[in-house]
Amino acid sequence: MHNPQLNAHGELTHLLSIEGLPRAVIIHILDTASSFLKVSHRDVKKVPLLRGKSVFNVFFENSTRTRTTFEIAAKRLSADVINLDVTRSSTAKGETLLDTVDNLVAMHADMFVVRHASSGAPHLIADHLRRVGRDNVHVVNAGDGRHAHPTQGLLDMYTIRHYKNDFANLVVAIVGDILHSRVARSDIHALTTLGAAEVRAVGPQTLLPSAIEKMGVRVCHDLRTGIRDCDVVIMLRLQNERMNGALLPSAREYFRCYGLTPESLALAKTDAIVMHPGPMNRGVEIDSDVADGPQAVILPQVTFGIAVRMAVMGILAGN
């Protein structure tokens, strides 16, 4: 099948999903991020890679945090950044997604960073740009529905590589609401592509998508089994609306069964790291003692996230 993210030379033209990305492309992004990390530590935190380019942050779904990290990354690459909060403007007036895109293309956008509540929306935009002959405009998926959040997946891989060096012998547990999580799907694709020894999906049946084992994960319904002897624990955010009784009886019961506490974390390897895409619900999916403890690498994830997003934008602009 035609891979919509790669051009005829196998180079990345859009970042829509980690699914289908060759291992070499992922490694290249992580290596590039490594070099950009140094930029963030300098007094002058800028490189001129995207000078004169316009990056449009088009968020059809609110997310101040993700938008800010993309904005910082683009600005450190010297791009002009335009933030559009589309939830409150065009679509509210009845404009279709592709009409909005056409208008922004007419304003000479060079790159779209798109967040949308519907799975597949960035694919639709990339496909549309190809059909109207605007292959020179790049699309970065900043989260689409439950489908993918590829830059989060990449920054998670960056974090894991930073602390564990290699993926070959790693056991990674992803715990929580995998059903609604685009982060989980991106992490699973990335980890299986990079050759992690075992990826475990841990949660109650109501929060696991059907046939998830087809993505190459081992399903564990018991937290203790899921965490035992693992190297990396990725906790997922449990959104408040999931706790209304339809999927889970209560936050209290969820924490009792699936919350990460110092006691449950003790089952993992002693040097295991704890990750979380944020924002955290302390006392719901993670105990504060773990979140603030020595094994948590949640804030470094945020720092690495800027460098990874710089790498993605820099590579796309060059292709």
Partner 1 sequence: MQHLHIRNARLIDPRNGVDEQLDLFIADGRIAAIGRPATDFAAQRTIDAAGMIVCPGLVDLSARLGGIEPELGAAVAGGVTSLACPPDSKPLLDEPGLVERLVRRSDTLGLARVYPIGALTQQLAGERLAEMNSLARAGCIAFSQAKQAIVDTQLLLRAMQYAATFGYAVRLRPQDDFLAREGVAHDGEVASRLGLTGIPVAAETVATATALQLAAHTGVRLHLSRLSSAAAIELIRQARCAGMPVTCDVAVHHLHLSEMDIGYFDSNARFDPPLRSASDRDALRAAVAEGLAAICSDHTPVDADGKQLPFAEALPGATGLELLLPLTLLWARQTKLPLAVALARVTSDPATILGLDAGSLTVGGPADVCLFDPEESWCVTPEALRSQGKHTPFLGYEVSGRVRMTLVGGRIVFAA
Interface contacts to partner 1, rule CB under 8 A:
1, 4, 19, 96-98, 116, 118-121, 123-124, 128, 144-148, 182, 185, 209-212, 214-215
Joined together, the tokens standing for residue 155 give: 């920054």
- Nearer to partner 1 among residue 92 and residue 299 (C-beta): 92
Least distance in Å: CB of 188 to partner 1? Answer: 9
Pick between residue 67 and residue 180 the one whose CB is nearest to partner 1.
180
Smallest distance, partner 1 to C-beta of residue 140, A: 16
> Residue 159, Cβ neighbours under 10 Å: how many?
23
Q: How far is the CB of 253 from partner 1 (least distance, A)?
A: 24
Shortest spacing between CB 174 and partner 1, in angstroms:
14
Q: Which is nearer to partner 1, 77 or 201 (CB)?
A: 201
CB 176 within 8 A of CB 236: yes
Q: Quick one: 30 or 113, whose CB is closer to partner 1? A: 113
Residue 313 Cβ vs partner 1, minimum distance, rounded to whole Å = 22
Q: State which residue, 48 or 94, has the beta carbon closest to partner 1.
A: 94
Choice between 54 and 181, CB closer to partner 1 = 181
CA gap 188, 194 in Å, rounded: 10
Least Å from the CB of residue 53 to partner 1:
27
